């Protein structure tokens, strides 16, 4: 074998090795990209403002609060979120961790801000968290209220009791539980918001048992 032949043989082996390394690298990168692209696929919707991703993370939608299970508009909010994100790849922006260790984020499907859609359809309320979308979220809530949509509709917000027997209004505001009797000041204007814990009581004993206290001036 000539010196030139040996060089060509060695070059061929090196080329083969380099080709193999390149192939393995390409396959590894493709597997990484597939795994990376799939980690943000939504596999479960927990409620109207929380979802689970394929990589095991639970994401709560930043800046919104949807009704809890058993409250007015819970089912509608959850169904809308499922319609928008379940089985789809989402993009997360403005990710933060709250005091309870929960991951919060603005969630997008394509260019659609899911948080905003839920608020503008009255299926969640905006809780005024600062982000780059603050003003549009604020406007979405204002418009939903003006149109009496969802949680702002008469279905969830009532000023008149359904029966004369159960006419005591129980309000939860900023963590305080207050009940209002028919002879309390401004009773007619007090709104019972059944999306977020307000309720009607048939007697004072029921209200007190649930840790509500009588409104001042009653």
Tell me, yes or no, if 68 is annotated catalytic: yes
Residue 117 in contact with residue 153, Cβ under 8 Å? Answer: no
Q: Is 20 exposed, middle or buried (0-12, 13-18, 19+ CB in 10 A)?
A: exposed
The reported pLDDT for the residue numbered 130 is 86
Query: What's the rounded Cα separation, in Å, for the pair 46 and 57?
Result: 12
The reported pLDDT for the residue numbered 175 is 85
Which are the contacts of 197, defined by CB distance < 8 A and separation ≥ 6? 71, 172
pLDDT in tens, 26-69: 544 444 444 446 789 999 999 999 999 999 999 999 999 999 99
Average pLDDT, the chain: 87
Query: What's the rounded Cα separation, in Å, for the pair 166 and 168?
Result: 6
Q: How confident is the model at residue 19 (pLDDT cuts 50, 70, 90)?
A: low
Tell me, yes or no, if 82 is annotated catalytic: no
Q: How confident is the model at residue 217 (pLDDT cuts 50, 70, 90)?
A: confident
The active-site residue out of 68, 93, 136, 206 is 68
The active-site residue out of 6, 102, 173, 204 is 102
Query: What's the rounded Cα separation, in Å, for the pair 62 and 217?
Result: 38
Tell me, yes or no, if 102 is annotated catalytic: yes
Query: What's the rounded Cα separation, in Å, for the pair 93 and 78?
Result: 21
Query: HSE on the CB side for 22, CA within 13 Å?
Result: 6
The whole-model pTM stands at 0.76
Torsion, Cα of 124, 129, 130, 135 (10° steps): 30
The reported pLDDT for the residue numbered 210 is 94
Domains, the chain, ordered by start: 42-152 (2.40.50.90), 157-214 (no CATH)
């Amino acid at each position: 074998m000539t010196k030139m032949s040996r060089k060509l043989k060695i070059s061929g082996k090196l080329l083969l090795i380099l080709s193999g390394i390149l192939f393995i690298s390409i396959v590894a990168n493709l597997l990484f990209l597939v795994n990376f692209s799939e980690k943000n696929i939504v596999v479960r919707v927990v409620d109207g403002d929380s979802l689970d991703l394929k990589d095991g993370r639970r994401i709560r939608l930043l800046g919104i609060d949807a009704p809890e299970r058993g409250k007015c508009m819970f089912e509608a909010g959850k169904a809308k979120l499922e319609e928008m994100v379940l089985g789809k790849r989402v993009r997360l922006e403005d990710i933060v961790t709250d005091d309870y260790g929960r991951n919060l984020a603005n969630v997008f499907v394509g260019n659609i801000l899911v948080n905003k859609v839920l608020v503008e359809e009255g299926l969640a309320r905006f809780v005024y968290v600062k982000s780059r979308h603050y003003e549009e979220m604020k406007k979405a809530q204002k418009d939903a209220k003006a149109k009496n949509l969802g949680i702002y509709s008469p279905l969830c917000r009532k000023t008149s009791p359904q029966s004369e027997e159960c006419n005591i209004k129980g309000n939860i505001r900023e963590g305080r539980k207050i009940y209002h009797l028919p002879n309390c000041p401004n009773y007619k204007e007090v709104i019972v918001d059944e999306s977020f814990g307000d309720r009607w009581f048939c007697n004072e004993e029921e209200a007190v048992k649930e840790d509500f206290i009588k409104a001042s001036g009653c």
